[in-house]
């Protein structure tokens, strides 16, 4: 019975960590999208490369959470 309780506790702790990480990632994504929305609509090469890199990084972070 003690082992089952440990498993339940571990699951609850891991689920909490997952949700905290997911929330942090989604908050970061929201901030980045809001920042991109406020930028000038003209896309320079440097800006496009930076945004593409940020989107790739965010995609990787979200994928790692899964």
pLDDT digits (tens, 9 = 90+) for 32-62: 888 877 766 666 678 778 888 888 888 888 8
- Tell me the mean pLDDT in the region 15-27: 92
> Could you tell me the pLDDT band of residue 19, with boundaries at 50, 70 and 90?
very high
Residue 21 has pLDDT above 80, yes or no: yes
Residue 27 zone, left/alpha/beta (φ > 0; ψ -120 to 50; rest): alpha
Q: Which residue has the higher pLDDT, 28 or 65?
A: 28
What is residue 66's predicted lDDT score, i.e. its pLDDT? 63
């Amino acid at each position: 019975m003690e082992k089952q309780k440990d498993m339940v506790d571990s699951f609850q702790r891991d689920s909490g960590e997952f949700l905290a990480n997911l929330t942090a990632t989604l908050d970061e994504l929201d901030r980045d999208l809001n920042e991109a929305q406020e930028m000038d609509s003209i896309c320079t090469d440097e800006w496009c490369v930076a945004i593409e890199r940020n989107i790739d990084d965010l995609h990787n972070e979200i994928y790692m959470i899964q």
